[in-house]
Amino acid sequence: MSGDIVLMRVHDALAEPPERGKVFLVDRLWPRGVRKEALRLDGWLKDAAPSTGLRRWFGHDPARWAEFAERYRRELADRPEALRPVLDALAEGPVVLLYAARDTEHNQAVVLRGVLEGARGR
Protein backbone atom coordinates (compact mmCIF):
# COMPACT_ATOMS: atom_id res chain seq x y z
CA MET A 1 0.00 0.00 0.00
CA SER A 2 1.30 3.43 -0.82
CA GLY A 3 0.57 6.74 0.81
CA ASP A 4 -0.82 10.05 -0.29
CA ILE A 5 1.25 13.13 -0.99
CA VAL A 6 0.13 16.21 0.91
CA LEU A 7 1.49 19.68 0.17
CA MET A 8 1.75 22.19 3.00
CA ARG A 9 3.26 25.62 3.49
CA VAL A 10 5.98 25.71 6.13
CA HIS A 11 4.24 28.46 8.07
CA ASP A 12 0.98 26.50 8.09
CA ALA A 13 2.86 23.48 9.43
CA LEU A 14 4.25 25.62 12.23
CA ALA A 15 0.74 26.67 13.24
CA GLU A 16 -0.76 23.20 12.84
CA PRO A 17 1.82 20.40 12.43
CA PRO A 18 0.92 17.49 10.15
CA GLU A 19 -0.79 14.75 12.12
CA ARG A 20 0.59 11.82 10.18
CA GLY A 21 3.12 10.83 7.59
CA LYS A 22 6.76 11.55 6.97
CA VAL A 23 7.53 15.25 6.53
CA PHE A 24 10.08 16.57 4.03
CA LEU A 25 11.17 20.14 3.34
CA VAL A 26 11.54 20.54 -0.44
CA ASP A 27 13.17 23.99 -0.59
CA ARG A 28 16.86 24.48 -1.37
CA LEU A 29 17.07 27.30 1.17
CA TRP A 30 15.91 27.14 4.76
CA PRO A 31 12.68 29.18 5.20
CA ARG A 32 13.25 32.69 6.54
CA GLY A 33 12.35 33.31 10.13
CA VAL A 34 11.94 29.61 10.98
CA ARG A 35 14.08 27.97 13.63
CA LYS A 36 15.35 24.57 12.57
CA GLU A 37 14.08 22.95 15.74
CA ALA A 38 10.59 24.37 15.09
CA LEU A 39 9.91 21.95 12.23
CA ARG A 40 9.53 18.23 12.76
CA LEU A 41 11.21 16.91 9.64
CA ASP A 42 12.08 13.45 8.44
CA GLY A 43 14.30 14.99 5.79
CA TRP A 44 15.38 18.15 4.00
CA LEU A 45 15.53 17.38 0.29
CA LYS A 46 17.82 20.14 -0.98
CA ASP A 47 18.85 18.02 -3.96
CA ALA A 48 15.24 17.52 -5.00
CA ALA A 49 14.62 21.29 -4.98
CA PRO A 50 15.03 23.43 -8.11
CA SER A 51 18.57 24.59 -8.82
CA THR A 52 19.52 28.06 -7.64
CA GLY A 53 19.60 29.31 -11.23
CA LEU A 54 16.14 27.96 -12.02
CA ARG A 55 14.69 29.25 -8.76
CA ARG A 56 16.06 32.74 -9.40
CA TRP A 57 14.89 32.72 -13.03
CA PHE A 58 11.35 31.72 -11.99
CA GLY A 59 11.08 34.28 -9.20
CA HIS A 60 7.57 32.96 -8.44
CA ASP A 61 6.26 34.68 -11.59
CA PRO A 62 3.07 32.83 -12.63
CA ALA A 63 3.72 33.89 -16.24
CA ARG A 64 6.82 31.66 -16.17
CA TRP A 65 5.07 28.74 -14.49
CA ALA A 66 4.78 26.36 -17.47
CA GLU A 67 8.41 26.84 -18.47
CA PHE A 68 9.55 26.53 -14.85
CA ALA A 69 7.65 23.26 -14.41
CA GLU A 70 9.15 21.82 -17.60
CA ARG A 71 12.70 22.85 -16.65
CA TYR A 72 12.28 21.55 -13.11
CA ARG A 73 11.01 18.18 -14.34
CA ARG A 74 14.14 17.93 -16.53
CA GLU A 75 16.34 18.72 -13.51
CA LEU A 76 14.62 16.00 -11.49
CA ALA A 77 15.04 13.51 -14.35
CA ASP A 78 18.80 14.15 -14.19
CA ARG A 79 18.95 13.33 -10.46
CA PRO A 80 16.50 10.51 -9.73
CA GLU A 81 18.42 9.56 -6.57
CA ALA A 82 17.16 12.80 -4.98
CA LEU A 83 13.64 11.35 -5.00
CA ARG A 84 14.56 8.06 -3.29
CA PRO A 85 13.88 9.18 0.33
CA VAL A 86 10.35 10.30 -0.56
CA LEU A 87 9.59 7.28 -2.73
CA ASP A 88 10.74 4.97 0.08
CA ALA A 89 8.58 6.87 2.57
CA LEU A 90 5.58 6.69 0.23
CA ALA A 91 5.86 2.91 0.21
CA GLU A 92 5.15 3.03 3.94
CA GLY A 93 2.40 5.66 4.07
CA PRO A 94 1.53 9.31 3.56
CA VAL A 95 4.14 12.00 2.94
CA VAL A 96 3.96 15.74 3.56
CA LEU A 97 6.00 18.03 1.31
CA LEU A 98 6.71 21.38 2.97
CA TYR A 99 7.50 24.50 0.96
CA ALA A 100 7.93 28.15 1.91
CA ALA A 101 6.38 29.87 -1.13
CA ARG A 102 3.24 31.94 -0.57
CA ASP A 103 1.71 30.87 -3.88
CA THR A 104 0.04 27.51 -3.27
CA GLU A 105 -0.51 26.79 -6.98
CA HIS A 106 2.80 27.84 -8.55
CA ASN A 107 5.63 26.30 -6.52
CA GLN A 108 8.09 23.45 -6.79
CA ALA A 109 6.13 21.16 -4.47
CA VAL A 110 3.28 21.05 -6.99
CA VAL A 111 5.66 19.89 -9.73
CA LEU A 112 7.46 17.50 -7.41
CA ARG A 113 4.19 15.85 -6.38
CA GLY A 114 3.37 15.20 -10.04
CA VAL A 115 6.81 13.71 -10.67
CA LEU A 116 6.54 11.49 -7.58
CA GLU A 117 3.07 10.30 -8.57
CA GLY A 118 4.39 9.49 -12.04
CA ALA A 119 7.33 7.59 -10.58
CA ARG A 120 4.92 5.51 -8.49
CA GLY A 121 2.89 4.68 -11.59
CA ARG A 122 -0.18 6.67 -10.66
pLDDT digit string, tens, across residues 45-88: 999 999 999 999 999 999 999 999 999 999 999 999 999 999 99
pTM (predicted TM-score) = 0.92
Range of the domain at 108: 5-119
Structural domains of the chain, count: 1
pLDDT digit string, tens, across residues 2-43: 579 999 999 999 998 888 899 999 999 999 999 999 998 999
Distance CA 97, CA 85 (A): 12
Which pLDDT band holds residue 122 (cuts at 50, 70, 90)? low
Residue by residue, DSSP assigns the chain as ----EEEEEHHHHHHS--SSSEEEE--SSPPTT--GGGS--SEE-GGGSPPHHHHHHHTT-GGGHHHHHHHHHHHHHH-GGGGHHHHHHHHHS-EEEEE--S-SSSSHHHHHHHHHHHHTT-
